[in-house]
Amino acid sequence: MARAKKAADGPTALRVVGKALRKVDATAKVLGVTKFADDLSLPRMLYCKLLRSPHPHARIVRIDATRALALPGVKAVLTGKDLPIPFGILPVSQDEHALALDKARFVGDPVAGVAAVSEEVATAALDLIAVEYEPLRPIKDHLDAVEHPEPRIHDYGDHGNLHKLINLEFGDVEAGFAAADVVREDLLFFEGNTHLPMEQHAALADWSPDGKLTLWSSTQTPHYVHRALAKVLELAPARVRVIATTNGGAFGGKSDPFSHEIVVAKLAMLTGRPVKITLTREEVFYCHRGRHPTLMWVKTGVKQDGAITAMHFKSLLDGGGYGSYGVASTYYTGALQTVTHHVPRYKFQGARAFTNKPPCGPKRGHGTPQPRFALEVHFDKIAEQLGIDPADFRLKHLVPPHSLTANWLRVGSMGLAECIRKVVAGSGWNEKYRKLPYGRGVGLACSSYITGAGLPIYWNAMPHSGVQLKCDRGGGVTVFCGSTEIGQGSDSVLAIIVAEVLGLDPFDIAVVSADTDLTPVDLGSYSSRVTLMTGNAAIQAAERARDLIARHAAPKLEAPVERITFAGRRVFDAASPERGISFAEAVQLAEAAAGTVGTVGSYTPAAGAGKYRGAGVGPSPAYSYSACVALVDVDPATGIVQVPKIWIAHDVGRSINAAAVMGQIEGSIYMGLGEALMEEMAYRGNRNVVHKIPSLLEYKSPTTLEMCDVVTYVVEDPDPNGPFGAKECGQGPLLPVPPAVANAVYDAVGVRIDEVPITPEKVFKALRRKEKGEEPRFGPLGFPDLPWPEPIRVAPPWEGGDGRAVEGGKGREKAVEVTAGRRR
C-alpha cells in the first residue's frame, strides 16, 4: 500500500524519479570502454565457427570430421551426437539441439562446431567436414504447411505441420453479430521482420578444472541460458555461471538460449581452454527469432454509435523451423484485442505453422504488433463505414480503468483517452483528416502493451525479480540484480529507485547486474517487465534498508523513527531538518548496532483473473497505452510512401528517467516505421527457401534519411502496481505506427494496403486496381480452413463467469503448463 500511496503523491514529492537523468553507464558508452561480448578475450583463447546446413529440410545421413580434425590448429570438432539433449526457451517446445542431431530444419541450422587457434583455421576446417544430406521436401510458408501435413518438420505438434492450434471463446459472438448494426470482415497480413541489433551475437566460455563453467554472452536472458547450459551439458546449475555482457541492441533477438552458447561451452569443457564465438552478420539473420509473418482475419460487429457488440479474430503464424517462444507468440496474437476498446464478446482462433526457415520468436511487441495492425486498420474502415471520425470512434467505448475484459485481463490505469486527445490536438487532426491535397494524408491508430507477463516461463511460485542491497559503512550502496542492460537503461532504473528511497544521488549507487553467480534471479529483459518488476523489488529492498537505518539513527537524532527522513545524502528529523547526520554516519550506527547492513527485495505479480487453459498469456501487472498520428506523402506515379512526421502520445504511468522514456518512445517509433515501410525477411524461390537478404545492405532499415520527425507527448497516469506508478514504454509505442501509416496512405490516395511493409510495389498495384475500377486494395484474399479444436468456452465477467472454462479446455495440450501455469 505504501507504493500505491507513493504513486498518488505526484512528481513534486519525488527528488530523483521522473527527472531527465544521465544514465549510469552513459559515460562508459561514449568513451567506448563498455565491454561487449566480442571485446572480451582470455589467455589461450580458441575461436569457434559453426558449420550450417545449406538445405532447408534434410535428413543428416553421415558426418565425417576426420579431415577437419587433422588440420593443424584445430583442437576439437563437435557434431549433433556430442550434444544430444534437446533444449528450447519454453518447456513445451524443447525441440532444438545445439547441433542438428538427425535433421536440418532451415538453411543456416547449425550442424557442426569447430574450435581452433584462429578464426581463419576454424573457418578452413568447416570446409573439411563432410556432411551427407538426404534432402526432404521443404515447407516454405504457413499456407504450404497447412496444405502439406507431410513431411512433418517435427514429430510433435497439434496437427501435421501445425505446431499449435488455439480456440478460445468468451461469450456468444454470433449473438453479438446478430445484435450489431454493421458487421465487417477484413483480411490482413503482417510480413516477418528481424531485430537487426547492431551487435552480432557473441559468447565466450571458460571451463575450470574445478568443474565450473563461466559463459559471457550477449544475451537478454542469462537466467534461461543458465538453465539451458545446465540441462544440455548435464552440469549442476551451481557449477554454471552466466554473465550477460551489456547487449549492443537486442529487441528480443537475444532472448532464446542459442546453439552457439552451448557449443562454445562444450568446446571449452573438451579443450580446457577458453573458447569464443562471434557470429557473422549473415549468421545473425539465421538466429532470427523475429516477428512471425502473420495472416489475420477479423470480424467485428458494431452499433451505429461505434459500440462493439462482438469480435472474432483468427491468426495464422509462420513459425519457422523451431518452437522458440512461438506458443506464447500465438496466444499473444489474440490476447490484447480487448484492452483498448470494450469488446463484450470475443472469440480467438490462433495457429502456428512449422516451416523450413529460421525460427520466429519475440521481437519488440511480441506477437501483438500484427493483430494491432489488423485491428486498427479494421477500425479505420469501420469508422468510415459508420461515418464517424476515426479519432472520435476511438474516444468512444474505451475500456474503463480498473476493470476486467472479456478474456479476463485486469486493466489498471488507462490513459488512452488523454493520449488520443494529445495527438489529435498536436497534429491538427481536425484540419487535416480528409482535407489534405491528393497524395498527402494522415492516419490514426491506438495500442496497448503489457508491462511484464503475469506468469513466468517455467511455472513456479518464486519471485520474477530479486534485488539485494549492500550498504557500506563508507556510505556506498551496491544494488545486485539479475536484470540485463540491453540499452534500455535497466541499470539506471535500479540506481535511480534506490537513490530515491535512500536520499542519495544515482551515481552514488554501484550496480551489479546480470551475473548468475552474483545477482539474484531476474527473469530477463523481455516483455517490458524490467522497470516494473526490478523496480518494485528495488523499492522493497531499499525501504527495508531505510527502515533499518532509520531505526538505529533515531536515538542519535533524538527523534521518533517515523520522522526520520532520507534526502541529500543526509538522514534527518523531518520536524527539524537541521538536526541530521550524513547517510554514511547513519549506516555506521546501523552496522554497529545490528551488524552488516544488507537487505533483499523481490517482486511477484498478483495472480491473473482468468483460470482457463490459455489464460497465462495476456495478464500483466499494468498496461501501457499509446496513440499515434502519422503524416504521409504518397507519390501516385511510383507508389513511394514517405513519412515526414509522427505524433505519438504514450501513457507510461510515471517516468522513472524522463530522458530514457523519450529515447524508448522515439526508438519504438523508428522501429515501427521500418516495419511499416520496408523491413521484411524475404526468402528466395519456392522450394529453395534460402534467405534472400542476409545482409544489412539488402535488409532495408531506416537510415537518417528515412527517419521521420517525431513529436512526443508523455502521458502519466500512474498505475498502482508500478514502481512510483511506472508502466512500460520500450515496446508499446511501436505498435500503432504501422496501422497509422496504412490508414494515412488511404487518406492520401484512397487505397487500402492491408499488408506491411507498405512497399512502393504494393501501393502502385493498388493504385492501378483503383484506376481499373477494381477493389482499391492490396492484401491477402483468404484465410485457410484449419482443423481447429473444440473451443474453450469462458463466460465474460459481465455474464457471471468466474474466469474458469465453462466447457472445453481438457485434453491433449500440455502447452498450457507454460502459458497458463497458475490455473486452479
The residues binding other proteins (CB under 8 A) are 20, 22-23, 25-36, 38-39, 195-200, 246-251, 280-281, 426, 486-489, 655, 658-660, 662-663, 665-671, 695-697, 701, 703-705, 707, 710-714
DSSP codes of every residue in 552-620: HHHHHHTS-GGGEEEETTEEEETTEEEEEEEHHHHHHHHHHHHSSEEEEEEE-PPPPS--STTTTSS--
Shortest Cβ 673–other proteins spacing (Å): 8
Instruction: Give the integer Cα–Cα distance in Å for 566 and 549.
Output: 10
Instruction: Give the integer Cα–Cα distance in Å for 369 and 810.
Output: 30
Instruction: Give the integer Cα–Cα distance in Å for 484 and 222.
Output: 8
Residue 89: how many CB atoms within 10 A of its CB?
Answer: 30
Shortest Cβ 670–other proteins spacing (Å): 3
Residue 641 is given by DSSP the state E
Name the residue nearer to other proteins (CB basis): 217 or 300. 217
Shortest Cβ 255–other proteins spacing (Å): 15
Shortest Cβ 707–other proteins spacing (Å): 5
Name the residue nearer to other proteins (CB basis): 602 or 712. 712
The answer to whether the beta carbons of residues 362 and 528 sit under 8 Å apart is no
Q: Assign residue 672 a region: left if phi > 0, alpha if psi is -120 to 50, beta otherwise?
A: alpha
Name the residue nearer to other proteins (CB basis): 408 or 724. 724
The answer to whether the beta carbons of residues 363 and 449 sit under 8 Å apart is no
Name the residue nearer to other proteins (CB basis): 500 or 573. 500
Shortest Cβ 156–other proteins spacing (Å): 35
Shortest Cβ 413–other proteins spacing (Å): 18
The candidate with the shortest Cα–Cα distance to 371, out of 419, 402, 407, is 407
The answer to whether the beta carbons of residues 344 and 164 sit under 8 Å apart is no
Rounded to the nearest 5 degrees, what angle is found at the Cα of 32, between the Cα atoms of 29 and 38?
Answer: 100
Name the residue nearer to other proteins (CB basis): 121 or 382. 121
The answer to whether the beta carbons of residues 612 and 335 sit under 8 Å apart is no
Shortest Cβ 704–other proteins spacing (Å): 4
Instruction: Give the integer Cα–Cα distance in Å for 735 and 671.
Output: 10
* The three-state (H, E, C) secondary structure of 388-452, written as one string: CCHHHHHHCCECCCCEECCCCCEECCCCHHHHHHHHHHHHCHHHHCCCCCCCEEEEEEEEEEECC
Q: Where does 268-307 show beta strands of DSSP type E? A: 275-278, 294-302
Query: In what helix (H) or strand (E) does residue 551 lie, and over which residues does it extend?
Result: helix 530-557
Name the residue nearer to other proteins (CB basis): 703 or 773. 703
Shortest Cβ 418–other proteins spacing (Å): 12
Name the residue nearer to other proteins (CB basis): 692 or 769. 692
Shortest Cβ 711–other proteins spacing (Å): 5
Name the residue nearer to other proteins (CB basis): 117 or 600. 117
Which residues are registered as beta bridge partners of 206? 214
Question: Residue for cell digits 542491497?
Answer: 469
The candidate with the shortest Cα–Cα distance to 671, out of 249, 388, 371, is 249
Q: Map residue 204 onto helix, strand or coil.
A: strand
Name the residue nearer to other proteins (CB basis): 139 or 678. 678
* The three-state (H, E, C) secondary structure of 63-115, written as one string: EECHHHHHCCCEEEEEEHHHCCCCECCCHHHCCECCCCCCEECCCCCEEEEEE
The amino acid present at 391, given as its one-letter code, is A
Shortest Cβ 506–other proteins spacing (Å): 13
Name the residue nearer to other proteins (CB basis): 117 or 180. 117
Shortest Cβ 422–other proteins spacing (Å): 8
Name the residue nearer to other proteins (CB basis): 40 or 182. 40
DSSP codes of every residue in 726-740: ----SSGGGTTHHHH
Contacts of 220 (CB under 8 A, 6+ apart): 244, 247, 250, 252, 254, 255, 484, 486, 524, 525, 526
Rounded to the nearest 5 degrees, what angle is found at the Cα of 218, between the Cα atoms of 521 and 84?
Answer: 80
How far, in Å, are 23, 372, 443, 740 from residue 645 at the CA level?
28, 21, 11, 11
Name the residue nearer to other proteins (CB basis): 297 or 713. 713
Name the residue nearer to other proteins (CB basis): 468 or 655. 655
Name the residue nearer to other proteins (CB basis): 90 or 631. 631
Query: In what helix (H) or strand (E) does residue 667 lie, and over which residues does it extend?
Result: helix 658-677
Q: Assign residue 21 a region: left if phi > 0, alpha if psi is -120 to 50, beta otherwise?
A: beta
Name the residue nearer to other proteins (CB basis): 310 or 661. 661
Name the residue nearer to other proteins (CB basis): 141 or 651. 651
Shortest Cβ 17–other proteins spacing (Å): 13
Shortest Cβ 788–other proteins spacing (Å): 38
Question: Residue for cell digits 531485430?
Answer: 195
As given in the structure block, the three cell numbers for residue 141 are: 510458408
Shortest Cβ 252–other proteins spacing (Å): 12
Name the residue nearer to other proteins (CB basis): 581 or 640. 640
Cis peptide before 757 (omega within 30 of 0): yes
Query: In what helix (H) or strand (E) does residue 532 lie, and over which residues does it extend?
Result: helix 530-557
Shortest Cβ 743–other proteins spacing (Å): 21
Name the residue nearer to other proteins (CB basis): 90 or 661. 661
The amino acid present at 367, given as its one-letter code, is G
Shortest Cβ 626–other proteins spacing (Å): 13
Instruction: Give the integer Cα–Cα distance in Å for 613 and 164.
Output: 14
Residues 110-138: b if buried by 16+ CB within 10 A, e if exposed? bbbbbbbbeeebbebbbebbebebeebeb
Shortest Cβ 282–other proteins spacing (Å): 9
